[in-house]
A and B are shown apart, each in its own frame.
Chain A
């Protein structure tokens, strides 16, 4: 009898793996000291309070231990991580002025093309600094601000001072403390009251330098009854040294406002992705997360929504794909801190070739949050016997008048389903890819189109191989 066995080699990630020569105009030495942190601050000409904040964060970083749960981070040696790499250019508002190697990288990733076709504004970060930024004039006139964090610290200082790392303070855990000390780049978005930004803004983060860290900070404030869709993409070529990504995202959603925040993180397989994202949602506001985690060696990512005002709402749609040598520990957290709040978490995970995909999530309902609703649905698909999948949901419910639902399913590709598709002339490989794409579809349909296409391509790449 024939035995079907799928052998899948490590994939060719094509354009994501094209690396440029490591050219830079300034790079701090490896490791982490108050001198290095001070140098980063001086390089950026920052106000005194920011330098103080960085040095304070560094102290916290030194005091706080590594997390005692989740994937092992013992291979991380901060002495080997370069925290700051300034590319060989300053920020431009025109792609023609961006140096050719950097511009070509973003062109291969489709960023300038997408800007022309479907975006209202674009930011592009290369290593530690933003190299390109633009926003449509019509939005600027309505008071929408979209710029890099360095510019924001200088030009919108009071606002940055009011919000920066207030939602995610350095004391939270070791890697936000690290972030507070060495953060660089990222986006600042402000949407004034009542303004609807009807086409998305997009930032793209590209880490080129080997052995570097990326610590971009995203700060978004959507004022009362305003509306925004923000898209973030991340990637890096593969080197043989460990890279670290410890970004921080703070989202402030005011009364009646809506923010949709979509990301695809497709880091290379030498990346430790320890990212922290959090949203604070006021009365009748809504946060909608769409999150895809593909690359990286280790990911620990649990975007959190704090529903602070009555009637606030959070939606989380996430997909994780763990292949050989990957340990992706992802999920979502929601805190219902007011009455009549609602949340909906829906995740899909796929593991293959020994990959580990874990859903880790938490729902907390505080004592005053009566008439709140929460639903959690996690589905996992394991493509072979060597892969692993776990679901670790936690529920902490302190009010009886609530409606809580939880569903978890772990499954495999059914041989009968493959046979069914093959009986219609579809090859075994395509049949399996169709089933996996179908499994991912509920999340894929929430993604911006080009990202959904990218995700399907990634799934096809991941499943390509010899069958025999």
Chain B
């Protein structure tokens, strides 16, 4: 048994034949909050999709281990059942399937047994209240006609109910106003404990203000070229990524 939750070693990956990740290393332990920052096109979303097993993203070299197990051959749903979760940047709209029905199906799939309906309803109601979501959304079709902010809140709602070991948050703060960012941050804080972990990717820093961040990684051109504590956030806020992108070109 490894104490590490996620170990990524020398990861290379391609999309449509184009190499996006070029030797990425990352380790995450239970209880930690990691942030990967980088400019657009640096490979952040590729990394998230690769960890979750999106069939379009091709791993060309390296390994991804979750709790000591190589997961690179596993299907997406199998990875989810091990305790991985991805909050999508642009969640899909699924007509005809209600939020509640979807969440209950997901919970049943993850646990391998049917959840008790009343207990589930209660849990759903409480989580929606915490995220200041209108309870009527439980009966609405999944993400259909939701605003950008509502979709993001719905992602966090799923995270709270499905309670993964490692939550990957892909640009969860983009397109949100200040209040919505605060609500989403509070949701993440509520989720976080010493046994699970969060990996946030973002190219801005709004969501990070309210989070207890342990490690910050800077991703440029498919490689992590700087690591530090949360003081790095401040530096990026002031100077952007220019210093690193210039260095990467040399």
Chain A interfacial positions (CB closer than 8 Å to B)? 1-2, 4, 414-417, 419-428, 430-431, 434-435, 437-442
Q: 4 shortest A-B CB distances, which residue pairs?
A: A438-B96, A441-B96, A424-B106, A425-B80
Query: In whole angstroms, what is the CA distance A94 to B57 when docked?
Result: 64
A441: chain B residues at CB < 8 Å are 95-97
The CA-CA distance from A426 to B110 in the complex, in Å, is 8
Measured CA separation A423–B170 after assembly (Å): 13
Contact with A along B128-169 (1 / 0, CB 8 A): 000000000000010000000000000000100010000000
Q: Are A435 and B75 in contact (CB under 8 A)?
A: no
Given contacts A415-B56, A419-B55, A419-B76, are A424 and B109 in contact (CB under 8 A)?
yes
Residues of B within 8 A of A427 (CB): 77, 109
CB contacts (< 8 Å) of B96 on chain A: these are 437-442
Are B106 and A420 in touch, CB under 8 angstroms?
Answer: no
Can you add 20 more A-B contacts, CB < 8 Å, to A414-B92, A426-B106? Answer: A1-B55, A2-B55, A415-B56, A416-B92, A419-B52, A421-B106, A422-B77, A424-B109, A424-B162, A425-B77, A425-B80, A425-B162, A427-B77, A428-B75, A430-B105, A430-B109, A431-B77, A435-B97, A441-B95, A441-B96
Contact A419 B54 (CB under 8 A): yes
Structural contact, B109 and A426, CB atoms closer than 8 A? yes
Residues of A within 8 Å of B88, CB to CB, are: 420, 423
- Bound: A222/B30 CA distance, A: 69
Question: What residues of A have a CB within 8 angstroms of the CB of B52 in the complex?
Answer: 419, 423
Contacts of B97 in A (CB 8 A): 434-435, 437-438, 441
Contact of A423 among B76, B94, B95, B141 (CB under 8 A): B76
Q: Is the CB of B77 within 8 A of A417?
A: no
Interface size on B, residues (CB 8 A): 28
B81 in the interface, Cβ–Cβ < 8 Å?
A: yes
Query: Which residues of A have CB within 8 Å of B102?
Result: 421, 424, 434
Collect the chain B residues with CB atoms within 8 Å of residue A431's CB: 77
CA distance in complex: A1, B50 (Å): 12
27 residue pairs A–B, Cβ–Cβ below 8 Å? A1-B55, A414-B92, A419-B52, A419-B54, A420-B92, A421-B94, A422-B76, A423-B76, A423-B88, A424-B77, A424-B102, A424-B162, A425-B77, A425-B81, A425-B162, A426-B105, A426-B109, A427-B77, A428-B75, A430-B105, A434-B94, A435-B97, A437-B97, A438-B94, A438-B96, A438-B141, A439-B96
In angstroms, how far is the closest chain B Cβ from the Cβ of A412? Answer: 14
- Chain A residues whose C-beta falls within 8 Å of the C-beta of B94 in the assembled complex: 417, 420-421, 434-435, 438
Most B CB contacts (10 A, CB to CB) among A415, A416, A425, A426 go to A425
Q: Complex Cα distance A2/B76, Å?
A: 12
A165 to B119, CA, bound (A): 57
B66 at the interface (CB under 8 A from A): no
A441 to B141, CA, bound (A): 10
Report the Cα distance A270→B80, complex, angstroms.
Answer: 43
In the bound assembly, the distance between CA atoms of A430 and B54 in angstroms comes to 17
Is B218 in the interface zone, CB < 8 Å from A?
no
Q: A423 near B56 (CB under 8 angstroms)?
A: no
Q: Which residue of A lies closest to B76 (CB)?
A: A422
Nearest-CB residue, chain B, relative to A427: B77
How far, in angstroms, from A435 to B97 measured CA to CA in the complex? 8
B228 proximal to A (CB < 8 A): no
Within B92-112, which residues are at the interface with A (CB < 8 Å)?
92, 94-97, 102, 105-106, 109-110
Bound complex: CA A331 to CA B105 (Å): 33
Report the bound CA distance from A416 to B56 in whole Å: 10
By the criterion CB–CB under 8 Å, are A1 and B110 in contact?
A: no
Within 8 A of A (CB), among B73-97: 75-77, 79-81, 85-86, 88, 91-92, 94-97
Closest to A443 in B: B96
A1-B91 Cα distance, complex, nearest whole Å: 24
CB distance from A377 to the nearest CB of B (A): 13
B54-A425 in contact (CB<8A): no
Cβ-closest chain B residue relative to A414: B92
**What is the minimal beta-carbon distance from A444 to any residue of chain B, in angstroms?**
8
Measured in the bound complex, the distance between the Cα atoms of B58 and A386 in whole Å is 27
A417 B106 Cβ-Cβ under 8 A = no
- Find the B residue at minimum CB distance from A1: B58
Q: CA–CA, A158 to B119, complex, Å?
A: 61
Distance (whole angstroms) from the CB of B156 to the closest CB of chain A? 13
